[in-house]
Amino acid sequence: MFGNINITGILLDLDDTLVDSRSSWKQGFQETFMHYLNDRKHNFDLEEIYLEYTKLVAKKHEMSRASEWSDMLAQTGLSEIIKKYIQIEINISNAWSIFEKTWKKNIELFSDTNEILKSLNEKYKLGLVTNGLSEHQRFKIEKFELEKYFKCILISEEVGFQKPDIQIFNKAAEKLNLKVEDMLHIGDNPSHDVIGANKAGMFSCWLKRPGHWYKEIKDVEPNYIISNLLELENLKK
């Protein structure tokens, strides 16, 4: 694995790398939207409305310059979308309860996650590095019993900085007692995972699963590109 490169430690992202967060989040939105639609006849394209919702929330985060994911902004976006299409005011607390209960119920590991983690754990020191709220990320980690694979778990809200800040990568290297130049980071978001790892001096691997959202970024080059985690077994430099 990895040709002649001396990799001793591997960091992995959580959302949409190990855990299919995007699909469960979409289910949460659609379940909530349909609840308030309440059997009204419609010809809405829920895929398009969901895409509009994600863009709206992303814009709110950008305008707020929030350094972390904000449930409050996601809730506000949900309320605005429902008001726009269904033309009703909602109790956001009740709506978010439906949303959250649905995504937590439906979230799943990708089919390659456990197999690759078992394999990697036999050969490398593993760390989990994820952006997000502690409550959300700890729920996913505990639900799928992922702790057993990792010698360190860093969640941005808990450590005070997030990818692509090199501090979170350096912190992981310190926790694993490894040099950054002997480490590989794997994730689905080039802006966070590839740029961050490259700047930290680590090797980077962009996981482009089928249907991924992120586009290539000019002048940002990962060392590896894969479409599923099992391809790691056959990587060559």
Which DSSP string do the residues of 134-171 spell out, in sequence order?
HHHHHHHHHHTT-GGG-SEEEEHHHHT--TT-HHHHHH
Note the pLDDT of residue 213: 60
Note the pLDDT of residue 63: 77
Note the pLDDT of residue 43: 87
Confidence of residue 2 (pLDDT cuts 50, 70, 90): low
Note the pLDDT of residue 227: 93
Q: What are the phi and psi torsion angles at 3 (to 5°)? A: 60, -130
CA atoms of 237 and 231, how far apart (whole Å): 13
Query: Is 232 within 8 Å of 215 (Cβ atoms)?
Result: no
Q: Which residue has the tokens 């080039």?
A: 190
What are the residues facing 154 on neighbouring strands? Answer: 129
CA atoms of 197 and 52, how far apart (whole Å): 30
The 10s digit of each residue's pLDDT in 33-47 is 999 998 788 889 999
Confidence of residue 211 (pLDDT cuts 50, 70, 90): confident
Q: Please state, for a pLDDT cut of 90, what percent of the chain lies above it.
A: 76
Q: Evaluate if residue 237 carries a pLDDT over 80.
A: no
How is the chain split among helix, strand and coil, in percent rounded to 5? 50, 15, 35
- Residues 6 or more apart from 102 whose CB is under 8 A from it? 24, 27, 28, 31, 32
CA atoms of 99 and 42, how far apart (whole Å): 21
Q: Evaluate if residue 216 carries a pLDDT over 90.
A: no
Confidence of residue 76 (pLDDT cuts 50, 70, 90): very high
Q: Which residue has the tokens 């809730």?
A: 75
CA atoms of 78 and 80, how far apart (whole Å): 5
Q: Evaluate if residue 69 carries a pLDDT over 80.
A: no
